[in-house]
A = this chain, B = another copy of it.
Amino acid sequence: MRQVAALAGVGLKTVSRVVNGEPGVSPELTARVTEAIRLLDYRPDSTASSLRRADRRTATIGLLLEDVANPFSSAVNRAIEDVARQRETLVLSGSSDGDPGRETRYVRAFTSRRVDGLIAVPVAPDQQALLTERQLGLPIVFVDRLSVSPAIDSVTVDNRPGATRAVQHLAAHGHQRIGFLGDVRTIWTAEERYLGYVEGLASCGLRLEPGLVQRDVSGVDRAQVAVTTMLLLPEPPTAIFTAQNLLTQGAIRALRTAGLHNHIALIGFDDFPFAELLDPPVSVIAQNPHLLGMTAAARLFERLDGDESPARHVIVPTQLIARGSGEIPFNQ
């Protein structure tokens, strides 16, 4: 910037004004400065700028996901990017892989770079690292998780009602023995969906059979084993509700292998590509990750714009998509 000022024969502050589009610079000086910028390939340094500026904004936010490569997470990521772009804000992302230590390190890395705010899928049960930063004044929005503190906004889907609807849908097709496959129960969504399953059974007057419930199952392979085991019970389930997309995948494999994919009903939580091209097409409780991300980002920017209202929990609805697997009727 000094060089630009020298070449244009103006003061530093005039260059600053031109770069930031501030009014009150004569057209002639503006032209000289612009030309000098071009000649010198000058690139404004926004890090230095934000260091000095009164609001200290970096126009950068941090995004902590479980895994940026996961289709659900990456859709959330993309939605947040789209909102951020409108505000000329960039997104720093990190994958925790469910590791609280990694979460803490990413939060530190974000704050040391002075991000304006954070959107996170918290993983540590106590949410300590994130709560501390919130208390120190960093705007934070949780996505796909509820906060243990009333100080943090969160945006989630209606996990529990969604799961309940899946069970009721299966029951409406005559099923009374509905199996459940759920992720590790320390994950908030896994617990919520399980509770939704329990409520669904109750609402239909069905008994909860412990043998038909498999929780703490994670990953495709373990899900396949769990379902295969369930199918070998003396009284196997006639329908299955899988509460996470990898578990759905494992269940499909197990049903295929057993040759029962057209006889046992299946509804999975979370949609996935090719679901309608499978045999039978897979019915799901579809989440809307794009809307989830957009809503979370919008909330964060409201906070950045000075909104000091009490933290809210925004719920984005899920949608039952009936494609076939969930409509296989119970056959005596």
Chain A residues with CB under 8 Å of chain B are 41, 43-48, 50-51, 58, 60, 67-71, 73-75, 77-78, 81, 85, 88, 90-95, 108-114, 132, 136, 249, 252-253, 256, 272-274, 277-279
Contact = CB atoms under 8 A, between A and B. Distances in A.
A46 B92 contact: no
Contacts of A85: 94
Contacts of A58: 47, 113
Contact of A112 (B46, B111, B249): B46
A51 B41 contact: no
A274 B109 CA distance: 36
A93 B47 CA distance: 17
Given A47-B47, A273-B272, A273-B273, A90 B77 contact: no
A111 B45 CA distance: 8
A78 B88 contact: no
* Interface-central residue, A48, A85, A110, A112, by most chain B CB under 10 Å: A112
Contacts of A71: 69, 71, 74
Given A90-B113, A91-B94, A274-B274, 6 more contacts: A43-B108, A44-B112, A58-B113, A60-B92, A71-B74, A93-B93
A73 B68 CA distance: 10
A90 B90 contact: no
A251 to B, nearest CB: 11
Given A47-B114, A272-B273, A274-B273, A74 B68 contact: yes
B46 A113 contact: yes
A171 to B, nearest CB: 27
30 contacts: A41-B132, A41-B136, A43-B112, A43-B136, A45-B51, A46-B112, A46-B114, A47-B47, A47-B50, A47-B51, A60-B92, A68-B68, A69-B71, A69-B75, A70-B74, A73-B74, A74-B74, A74-B77, A81-B94, A85-B94, A90-B92, A90-B94, A90-B110, A91-B92, A91-B93, A91-B94, A93-B93, A252-B277, A272-B273, A273-B273
A69 B136 CA distance: 32
Nearest to A47: B47
B77 A69 contact: yes
A60 B47 CA distance: 12
Contacts of A93: 77, 81, 91, 93
A58 B136 CA distance: 23
Contacts of A110: 90
A47 B272 contact: no
Contacts of A274: 249, 272-274, 277-278
A45 B70 CA distance: 31
Given A91-B93, A112-B46, A132-B41, A68 B77 contact: yes
Given A51-B47, A112-B44, A274-B274, A78 B92 contact: no
Given A67-B78, A95-B81, A278-B277, A109 B88 contact: yes
Contact of A114 (B45, B70, B252, B256): B45
